[in-house]
Structure 1
Amino acid sequence: MAVWALGINHTTAPLDLRGRFAFAIDQVEPTLHALRGALTRVPEAALISTCNRTEIYCAGEQSQLEPTLTWLAQCGGVPAELLRAHSYTLNDGLAARHAFRVASGLDSMVLGEPQILGQIKDAVRAAEAAGALGTTLSQLFQRSFAVAKEVRTSTEIGAHSISMAAAAVRLAGQLFEDLCEVRVLFVGAGEMIDLCATHFAAKNPKSIAIANRTLSRGEELANKFGAEVMRLADLPERLHEFDAVISCTASTLPLIGLGSVERALKRRRHRPMFMVDLAVPRDIEIEVKALEDVYLYTVDDLASVVQTAQANRQAAVAQAEAIVDAGVQSFLHWIEQRSTVPLIQQLNSQADEWRVNEIARARKLLAKGEDVETVLEALSKGLTQKILHGAMAELRGGDSHSRERASAAVQHFFLRKER
C-alpha cells in the first residue's frame, strides 16, 4: 500500500497562487469525487484547505503523485510546471511525517497553533462523507490526532502562542492609541472571524459590527459580542463608518474593492483605516494596499508578527519532533503488517476447514458408539497429519536445495523452543 501527499503552503507559494487552490468545506466532497475519478484504481483521498495551505493525501496500491499534481494544476487553471515549482510531494513515511507535523502545529505559520487540528478533523469528516476515506488514510489521520494530542500535552510547543487573531489586535494597537475608541467591522462569520472578534472584544472597542452573506449566522455571532449585524450589500455605503475592518470569507472574488475604499476614505476625511484580509482568495483588492491612509495586512503580512514568540517555544520543538518520529515508525509498521493480512486470513481459513472436518468425523464415530478416548486420539492424529502434511512432503521430495530450504523453514516454525 502506497501513501502520497501533494501540497502548497505559506512557505512555498504566494498568496495569490494559494488562492487558486482554496476550497470551501462544501466544495471538498465534489472535488474529491473529481480527483478520484481522474486517477486509476480509485485511491483513498482527503483534501485539507486552509488560509495557509492546500494539501491532498491519497493511498492506493501504487503512488500516483504525478497524475495528482497534473489534476490539481488543471483544477486551479495553472501550468503543471508552475504548481510543481511551488509545491511539495511526499511518499509513504515522509507523507505520514508531514501529516503528523501539520496536525501538531509544527508546520504552521504560528508554531504550535491548535486551530489546524480542528481544520484537519473537518477535512477528514468531509472525506468520510464523500466515501473517499479508507482504512489506510483513516489510520493515518487518527494517528495524527493522537500524536498532536501527545505533543500538546507533553511539550510546551503551544505556550505563548500568538494566533492570527491576536496578531491583528497587536497591529491595530500599534496604529490606534486607544482601541476603546475604535469602531470595528468584521466581514464574514466563520471560525477565524469568531476568533478575531473574541480578541478585539476583549479590548472593549467603541462598537462592533458583523457583515455576513447569511444574516442568521451573522446575527448568531453578533449576539455573542453584543454587536450590530448588517448585510454585505450595505458594505459599500457604510464602510466609512469603521476604523478597523477584518475580513475572512469563502468568496471567490474580492468583496471590498479599491473604489469603495477610496470613497470611504474621502468621507472619513482621510482618517486612517486599519484593514486585515485573512481570506484566501483575497476579500480585499490588493490595490487597496497602495492607498496612503490604509494599513492593509494579509495572512502573509502577519508572519513577522506571529514569529515574535517563536524563540520561547523552540526548546520544545525537538521533543515534539521525537514524538512525531515515533508516530511515523508506528504507522509504517502497521502498513507493513497489513501486507500479510490476506495470507493470515487464508491460513486461518484452511486451519478452520481442517478443524471442522475432523470434528465432524469425530461426532460420527461417537454416534456409532466408539470409545471417547479412541475418538479423541483419532481427532488429534488427523489434525496433526493435516498440519504437517505439506512440510513432510517438502522434506521428502524435490532436489537437495529445496529440501535444505524446507528443513530450515520447518526448524524455524515447528521446532522452536518455547521461551
Structure 2
Amino acid sequence: MQLLALGINHHTAPVALRERVAFPLEKIKPALATLRSIWTSGSPEAAILSTCNRTELYCAVEGKASHETALEWLSDFHGVDVSHLAPHVYALPQSDAVRHAFRVASGLDSMVLGETQILGQLKDAVRTASEAGALGTYLHQLFQRTFAVAKEVRGQTEIGAHSVSMAAAAVRLAERLFEDIARQKVLFIGAGEMIELCATHFAARRPAELVVANRSAERGTRLAERFGGRAIALSELPNRLHEFDIVVSCTASTLPIIGLGAVERALRARRRRPVFMVDLAVPRDIEPEVSALEDIYLYTVDDLGAVVREGNAARQAAVTQAEAIIENRVDHFMQWLDARNVVPVIRSLHTQADEIRRTELDRASKMLARGDDPQVVLAALSQALTNKFMHGPTHALNHARGETRDQLLSLVPTLLRQPER
C-alpha cells in the first residue's frame, strides 16, 4: 500500500489561490467519492483537510500512488488550470506523508507555530472521511498515530508556550491604527471558533461596542451576549457597516459577504474616518479590491502571518524537541506499514505450503489404503514434503549469479531458522 499527501498551504500559495481550491464542508463527502474513484485497483482510502491555511489530500492506494493523478483531480474538481496550480503543490510519498501529517497535527507546519486549532480541524476531517466510508486500515492507523504524536509533542515540549494567535495578531494590528480600542466599535461577522477567539481578545480591550452578525441569529446572539455585546442580522450589514471602526470576518460562505460598493458607501457615511478590517476566511469574505480604498486597512490571514512569526523565535528549542519525537514515531509507523505490506506474501506462502501438504497427505492416504507399510509411507511423506519445500530456495541458489547469489546466501540462515521450542 502506498501513501500520498498532496496539497497547498500558506507556505506555498497565496490566499488568492488557496481560496480557489478550498472545500466547503458540504462538498467534502461527494469529493471523497470521486477522489477514490481515480484509483483503479484495490480499495483506495482518502481524507481531505481544508482550512484557511491549507487544502490537503491524504490517500492510501494499492500500486503506485501517482501524484499527477491526484493533482489533475484537484485541478478538475475546482476548475483551476493544472499549470497554474502545479508550482504551488507539494506531493509527499510514504514516510514523507507520515512526517507531514505528524507535523501538521503538532502545530509545526502552522502559521501560528504550536497552535492547537489545526488538531481539531484534522480530527473533523478524519471524522468526515470515516462517515463517508473513505477510511480503511492504513489511513485509520495513520491518523490515530498522528493524534497520539500531537498529544506527545504538546505534553513533552513547550511548543505552544507564548504562542501568538491569529486573534492576538489582529488586536496588535488594530492597536497600531487606533490609539485606544476602548473607543472603537467592533463588528464580528460569523460565529465560529475563529470569531470566538477574536471576540475574546478584542473584548479584553473593552471596546465601546461589540456586535456580532451571523446567518444563524440564535448562535450570533449567544456569542454576543457572552461578551456583553449584541447581535444583528447579516441582512443589516449594508446599512449598518458605516457604524463600525473594526470589522473582523470569518464565515464559511463561498462568496464575499462584503463587497466594494458597500464599503465605499460606508466610507462616505463615515466622512473618511478609517476602518480596520480583518478577513480570516478562505474563500475570502471581503472582496480583495476593498484593500485599494483609501482609509481602509484590510488584512487577510497571510498578512497576519508576519505579525505571528515575530513570536516564533522563542519557541525554536521546542521545535527541535518536537521534530525528534516525530522522527522516532515516523520510523515506528513505517515499520508497521512494512509489516502490513508483507502480509500478502506471507499469506501466499502459507497457501502454497498448504497445497503441497494436502497433495502429499492425499498420496500417503492412498498408499496406506492399499496396505503399504506405515513406516515406508511416513518416510515417503516426509521426504516428499522436504523435497518440495526445498525446491524453491535450492533452484534460486543454483541459478543466481553475482550479487544476487550473495544476497540469497546471506538470507538462508534467517529463512531456515528453526522455531524455538
Considering the TM-score relative to the shorter chain, is it more than 0.5? Answer: yes
Letter in 2 for 1:224: R
C-alpha distance 143-259 of structure 1, shift in aligned 2 (>3 A): same
The aligned residue for residue 368 of structure 1 is none
Matched AA of 1:78: V
**CA deviation map 1:115-149 (0-9, x unaligned):** 11111001000100111111111111111111111
Change (3 A) 1:216 1:60: same
Equivalent of residue 252 in structure 1, options 233, 251, 254: 254
Letter in 1 for 2:385: G
Is 1:325 aligned to residue 320 of structure 2? no
CA contact (8 A) 1:39 1:64 kept: no
1:30 and 2:30 matched: yes
Going from structure 1 to structure 2, the CA distance change for 1:323 and 1:412 (only over 3 Å counts) comes to: closer
The superposition leaves residues 28-85 of structure 1 with CA deviations (integer Å, 9 ceiling, x where unpaired) of 1111112222332352100000101100010011213111100111122121111111
How far apart are the structure 1 equivalents of 2:228 and 2:380? 81
Query: Deviation of residue 3 (structure 1)?
Result: 0.4
TM-score normalised by length of structure 1: 0.86
From 121, 124, 145, give the equivalent of 2:123: 121
Match of 1:12 in 2: 12
1:340 aligned residue (339, 342, 348):
342
Partner in structure 2 of residue 58 of structure 1: 59
Among candidates 382, 386, 389, match of residue 391 of structure 1: 386
The verdict on how the C-alpha distance between 1:237 and 1:387 changes in structure 2, with shifts beyond 3 A counting, is farther
After TM superposition, the structure 1 stretch with the greater mean CA deviation from structure 2, 318-327 or 386-395, is: 386-395
Q: Distance in 2 between matches of 1:147 and 1:313?
A: 18
Q: Which residues in structure 2 correspond to 1:231-242 (within 5 Å)?
A: 231-242=233-244
Q: How does 1:68-79 map to 2 (within 5 A)?
A: 68-79=70-81
Q: 1:3·1:92 contact (CA, 8 Å) conserved in 2?
A: yes
Contact between 2:186 and 2:246, CA under 8 Å: does it hold in 1?
yes
1:50 counterpart letter in structure 2: T
1:109 paired residue number: 111
Deviation of residue 395 (structure 1)?
5.1
TM-score w.r.t. structure 2 length? 0.85
5+ residue gaps in structure 1?
A: 359-377
Query: Structure 2 stretches of 5 or more lacking a match?
Result: 362-373
More displaced stretch, 168-177 vs 396-405: 396-405
1:408 to 1:276, Cα distance in 2 relative to 1, 3 A: closer
Residue 198 of structure 1 pairs with residue 200 of structure 2: yes
Residue identity in the other structure for 1:293: D
8 Å CA contact 2:39, 2:61 repeated in 1 = no
After superposition, the CA RMSD in angstroms is: 3.0
Q: Structure 1 residues 221-230 or 97-106, which shifts more? A: 221-230
Q: Distance in 2 between matches of 1:251 and 1:402?
A: 69
Pair 1:346–1:237, CA change in 2 (3 A): same
Deviating beyond 4 angstroms after TM superposition, the runs of 4 or more aligned structure 1 residues are 343-351, 384-389, 392-419
Distance across 1 between alignment mates of 2:150 and 2:224 = 32
- Secondary structure class of the residue paired with 1:235: helix
Aligned twin of 2:48: 47
Name the residue aligned to 1:363: none
1:156 counterpart residue number: 158
Shift in alpha-carbon separation, 1:407–1:90, aligned structure 2, 3 A: closer
**Is the alpha carbon distance of 1:36 and 1:411 closer, same or farther for their aligned partners in structure 2, counting shifts above 3 Å?**
closer
Distance 1:113 1:207 in 2: 29
Aligned-residue offset at 1:271: 1.6
